[in-house]
């Protein structure tokens, strides 16, 4: 006995049901759905009447049969920050759902050639129509050219320009780092510290360069500690910075997770925030309001960027005019974790 499809089991009308009722092929149904000129008017009217009678809602599969698309978009990442990734995924899905596309999320390694091979295999396997590539994956040397050579449409998010992608949306993170230095110095802090992100990642390089260059050019001192955007590295960095004889009074952590670690270590050591120490994070994620004290942070408009990337990719896929680039304005959101430097 032939097994019924899950759609039949749940009483849903399928494209095969419509084809059977109309006495035509599934491909003809998909052509009608996609307004193909290859269907004559009589057949079109007949199929449309059957669709209306059966209350059939076309699926992406039906559309794809005629247009030779999967109506799938891939999101490639190597982000260990669940708060950031969840926000991006939700907003991409909001944009893709409105256009009839589905999202497939693919975590990826960072080992250059292995990563490139892995992404190309993912595209081949999933048949996605295009990719949204998040940093730091977008900065892998040779990736943009490999995707271009393979004819794969890809919108990249990055803190620096990258040649080769069909589109790149850039956030000016060096400028944001400089803004943090000025913000802390305006509060009277002249002894500054920074918890860096991974040295090989462009976003971390940009944030550090902006902060350090601005601070030093204004005559402030800067001490640095290594980090990798994860909480454990933030704890180690905080232990180092807060153990120094001349510990900094204002610290910039290159993401909110490491800034949260700084707050925790300060609390354990009895260092008052913001009385003894001011801390600024980066991302403006939801964790900033969950902490005590609430964390000042550089806000990144994840929603606007994610949706903008998805809509620009879909426009490329469909051969339409690209919508405007999203506004990637980075700004500091003050909060309880910062205050004036103590006067001695």
- Do 306 and 162 lie in one domain? The reply is yes
The residue with greater pLDDT, 333 or 32, is: 333
In this structure, what DSSP letter does residue 56 have?
Answer: -
Enumerate residues 6+ apart whose C-beta is below 8 A from 107: 77, 78
Residue 259 has pLDDT above 50, yes or no: yes
The answer to whether position 197 is within a domain reads yes
Whole-model pTM: value is 0.78
Distance CA 235, CA 233 (A): 5
Q: Which pLDDT band holds residue 241 (cuts at 50, 70, 90)?
A: very high
What's the CATH number where 85 sits? 3.40.50.2300
Tokens of 56: 């059939």
Q: Are 154 and 165 in contact (CB under 8 A)?
A: yes
- Do 209 and 292 lie in one domain? The reply is yes
Q: Which of 41, 67, 93 is the last residue of a domain?
A: 67
The answer to whether position 331 is within a domain reads no
Tokens of 14: 């399928």
Q: Are strands 72-77 and 296-299 parallel, antiparallel or unpaired?
A: unpaired
- Do 151 and 179 lie in one domain? The reply is no
The answer to whether position 342 is within a domain reads no
Enumerate residues 6+ apart whose C-beta is below 8 A from 204: 196, 197, 198, 229, 254
- Do 192 and 258 lie in one domain? The reply is yes
Among the residue ranges 240-244, 265-269, 325-329, the one predicted with the least confidence is 325-329
- Do 217 and 140 lie in one domain? The reply is no
Q: Which pLDDT band holds residue 5 (cuts at 50, 70, 90)?
A: very low
Q: Are 46 and 22 in contact (CB under 8 A)?
A: yes
**Mapping DSSP to helix (H, G, I), strand (E, B) and coil, where does residue 4 land?**
coil
Q: Are strands 250-253 and 191-195 parallel, antiparallel or unpaired?
A: parallel
167 beta partners: 155
**Mapping DSSP to helix (H, G, I), strand (E, B) and coil, where does residue 178 land?**
helix
Q: Which of 45, 67, 89 is the last residue of a domain?
A: 67
Q: Which of 132, 103, 166 is nearest to 322 (CA)?
A: 166
- Do 59 and 166 lie in one domain? The reply is no
User: Residue with structure tokens 């599934």?
Assistant: 26
pLDDT tens by residue, 12-46 = 777 788 889 999 887 787 777 766 667 888 888 99
The answer to whether position 332 is within a domain reads no
- Do 140 and 191 lie in one domain? The reply is no
Q: Which pLDDT band holds residue 2 (cuts at 50, 70, 90)?
A: very low
Domain of residue 100 covers 72-171+302-326
In this structure, what DSSP letter does residue 76 have?
Answer: E
pLDDT of residue 275: 94
- Domain count of the fold of the chain: 3
pLDDT of residue 3: 41
- Do 135 and 178 lie in one domain? The reply is no
The answer to whether position 22 is within a domain reads yes
- Do 217 and 283 lie in one domain? The reply is yes
Enumerate residues 6+ apart whose C-beta is below 8 A from 320: none
- Do 166 and 314 lie in one domain? The reply is yes
The answer to whether position 1 is within a domain reads no
- Do 157 and 199 lie in one domain? The reply is no
Q: Which of 50, 67, 84 is the last residue of a domain?
A: 67
Residue 62 has pLDDT above 70, yes or no: no
Helical segments of 55-191, H only: 60-67, 82-98, 112-126, 143-149, 173-186
The number of angstroms, rounded, from the C-alpha of 292 to the middle of its chain's C-alpha atoms is 27
Please compute the mean of the pLDDT values over residues 203-220 and round it to a whole number: 97
The answer to whether position 203 is within a domain reads yes
Radius of gyration of the CA atoms of the chain, in A: 26
The answer to whether position 112 is within a domain reads yes
- Do 46 and 93 lie in one domain? The reply is no
Distance CA 246, CA 235 (A): 19
């Amino acid at each position: 006995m032939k097994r019924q499809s899950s759609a039949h089991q749940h009483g849903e009308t399928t494209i095969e049901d419509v084809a059977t009722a109309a006495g035509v092929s599934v491909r003809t149904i998909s052509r009608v759905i996609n307004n193909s000129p290859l269907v004559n008017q009589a057949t079109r009217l007949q199929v449309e009447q059957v669709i209306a009678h059966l209350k059939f809602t076309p699926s992406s599969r039906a559309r794809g049969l005629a247009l030779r698309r999967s109506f799938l978009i891939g999101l490639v990442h190597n982000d260990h920050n669940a708060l950031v990734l969840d926000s991006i995924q939700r907003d991409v899905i909001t944009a893709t759902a409105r256009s009839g596309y589905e999202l497939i999320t693919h975590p990826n390694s960072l080992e250059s050639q292995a990563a490139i091979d892995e992404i190309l295999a993912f595209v081949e396997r999933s048949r996605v129509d295009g990719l949204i590539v998040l940093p730091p994956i977008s900065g892998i040397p040779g990736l943009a050219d490999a995707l271009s050579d393979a004819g794969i449409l890809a919108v990249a998010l990055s803190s620096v320009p990258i040649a080769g992608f069909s589109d790149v949306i850039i956030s000016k993170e060096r400028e944001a780092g400089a803004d943090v230095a000025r913000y802390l110095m305006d509060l009277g802090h002249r002894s500054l510290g920074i918890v860096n992100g991974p040295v090989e990642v462009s976003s971390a390089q940009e944030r550090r360069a902006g902060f350090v260059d601005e601070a030093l050019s204004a005559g402030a001192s800067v001490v640095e500690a290594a980090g990798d955007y994860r909480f454990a590295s933030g704890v180690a960095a905080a232990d180092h910075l807060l153990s120094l004889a001349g510990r900094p009074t204002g610290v910039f952590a290159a993401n909110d997770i490491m800034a949260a670690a700084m707050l925790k270590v300060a609390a354990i050591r009895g260092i008052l925030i913001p009385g003894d120490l001011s801390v600024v994070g980066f991302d403006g994620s939801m964790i900033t309001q969950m902490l005590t004290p609430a964390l000042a942070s550089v806000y990144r408009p994840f929603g606007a960027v994610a949706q903008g990337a998805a809509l620009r990719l879909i426009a490329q896929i469909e051969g339409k005019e690209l919508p405007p680039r999203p506004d990637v304005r980075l700004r500091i959101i003050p909060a309880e974790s910062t205050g004036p430097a103590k006067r001695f």
